[in-house]
């Protein structure tokens, strides 16, 4: 099966941010998965290609969850937080993404 070709500009916009929380850390240790917040229209093949391009790792599989935004109070009125699409990226054995390294010093 051949790998589909994606526009590199589009792949750079697919991943919005890594999800860093206690639950995300627990999942990373237990299942070798990394959680990303992704664009609402991102597909699984696009997410896989974007992670492989940006982090130079091999991706085993991708699961996606659409999280509905909560209804919250803003002052006197009710408002709503934005809906979020999360990608659970399962890395092949021996692969790892470390967010603490690098960055500006």
- Over residues 50-65, the mean pLDDT reads 92
pTM for the model: 0.81
Nearest CA-CA partner of 32 in 96, 85, 100: 96
CATH topology of domain 8-91: Alpha-Beta Plaits (3.30.70)
Q: Which two tokens stand for residue 77?
A: 């009125």
pLDDT in tens, 40-54: 999 999 999 999 999
The CA-based diameter of the chain, rounded to the nearest angstrom, is: 56
| pLDDT for res 105 | 43
State how far the Cα of 98 lies from the Cα of 93, in Å rounded to an integer: 15
DSSP track, 3-38? PPP--HHHHHHHEEEE--SHHHHHHHHHHSEEEEEE
- Over residues 56-83, the mean pLDDT reads 93
Nearest CA-CA partner of 62 in 29, 30, 85: 85
């Amino acid at each position: 099966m051949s790998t589909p070709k994606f526009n590199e500009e589009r792949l750079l916009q697919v991943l919005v941010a890594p999800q860093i929380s206690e639950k995300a850390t627990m999942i990373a240790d237990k299942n070798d998965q990394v959680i990303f917040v992704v664009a609402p229209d991102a597909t699984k093949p696009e997410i896989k290609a974007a992670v492989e391009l940006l982090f130079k790792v091999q991706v085993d599989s991708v699961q996606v969850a659409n999280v509905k935004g909560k209804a919250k109070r803003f002052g006197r009125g009710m408002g709503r937080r934005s809906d979020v699409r999360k990608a659970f990226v399962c890395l092949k054995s021996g692969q790892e993404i470390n967010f603490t390294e690098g960055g500006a010093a």
